[in-house]
Structure 1
Amino acid sequence: MSDPRTSKSHGRLSVRASRQPRDLMAEPQHVGAWTANIVTLFPEAFPGTLGLSLTGKALADGLWNLRTIPLREYGLGKHRNVDDTPAGGGAGLVMRPDVMAAALAKADPGLPVIYLSPRGRPFTQARARALAEGPGMTLICGRFEGLDQRLLDARNVEEISIGDYVLTGGEIAAQVLIDTTVRLIPRVLGNQASLAEESFSDGLLEHPQYTKPALWEGRAIPEVLLSGNHAAIRDWRMKQAEGLTKERRPDLWRAYQDGMDPAKDRQLSGASDQSRQHREHEKD
């Protein structure tokens, strides 16, 4: 009889209950699986939450690969410096292009390279879906005042933002991109049908959800959801989704009505606001 601790199933490595989260990245990479390369000064930040729940199980099952590239290993001099003072003066430090290029050379070739940056295009469900359909991605986790522009231009790096705010570094943002994308890979979620009803799946926010008990603190589940009339339920959910989107995300609502990319709508809205503010300033 074979040892159950070393036996394999369906060509994948067996899962040992004693493993720590980072052990998931120490195992051999699964050929052909969707792969995330992460260039970071803090490889110990991974897998983080990506090693838990469904994404963690999918990682253990070989449905996707996670690989960190420690940027410090490619630093210069005695102290492995990865940054220097900004050209033209100013506060802070800028990540060197030669150091970053050396680290990127160790990433899987052919994958799109993405830099997590507050000045990047807003990350959307549509972009996540497109990335999930590809072979993977290489993420650059920035620090300090950012990354030398020459590296971004030379390596055709895509800049993506997860929101209009600034983080200490790109590691948390990288986990957001990976989590959003990996869950769209077939077989990662137990119920793929649930993806069709999520927020942004059809350009709208998701409708409200309810479960047992039917009455809680004097609040009842809407009767239509208990009616068994599936057509009425679908109509109710659509109206709820439209109402919430119109109220909370007018940019998504405009894009939904016009068939426009929500990210482009936000950019146009921002340009319109700047133009309006400029006209008002001239009047003053």
Structure 2
Amino acid sequence: MEVTAGVGGQEAMLFTSEIFDMYQRYAAYKKWKFEVLEYFPSELGGLRHAVASIAGVEAYKYMKFEGGVHRVQRVPKTEKQGRIHTSTMTVAILPQPTEMRLQISPKDLRIETKRASGAGGQHVNTTDSAVRIVHIPTGIVAECQQERSQIRNKEKAMQMLCAKLYNTKLEEETKKRNYARKIQIGTKGRSEKIRTYNFPQDRITDHRISRSVHHVESFMLGEEMLDEMIQTLREYADYESLMEIISENEKNNSS
């Protein structure tokens, strides 16, 4: 999972931090393993960008519905006039290939090491432990600096690179499919907002299924309310897939 602050400056970064925390709590609620691979905080306690690995029973089947643009509407802490601002952040969910179906040639990789940056006190900048791997044919980059060990960072960066390459391959195969689903739940592009968190009206709206629930703070605890929303999205996606199969069969029978 990758989270990135979008439009809205510091407020977008604060919201990104809250959403990242929400998923960390959701992973704990689902008894999944949540491991932070990259974390770039902002000055005011927000988050510019972060990457985490989530592992557990059906983790991808649930989390894939969270990919897309999340929008927040509220009065930022920094706002003197009490005006409501709209900010965004994006979530990308990449499936991790279980077995190595990807053939990656070592000669296609450029591996760079550098000193870790960011908050870390005495341990930062003492060794070249941060690792950046570039896949030369595609230009896809993965880096990790969370661990003090260069070997561990290299392993994690490689894991991230595999996930990114696998996702690219998956997207290409999806595009090749002869029919596209009307609403691609779980594979929606980053440009489209999937959910709005409206604090003044204490309401969360998921735009894909036109469903609204109240109690934003409870929702962002990442427990029952978020789980129910994702379950509804899963049911809707299953129904949509079924309708697609029926219409495809009808088309084949009539032709």
Measured against the shorter chain, the TM-score band is under 0.3
Query: Greater RCO between the two (CA within 8 Å, min separation 6)?
Result: 2
Which has the larger share of strand? 2
How does the TM-score come out when normalised to structure 2? 0.25
Structure showing greater Rg:
1
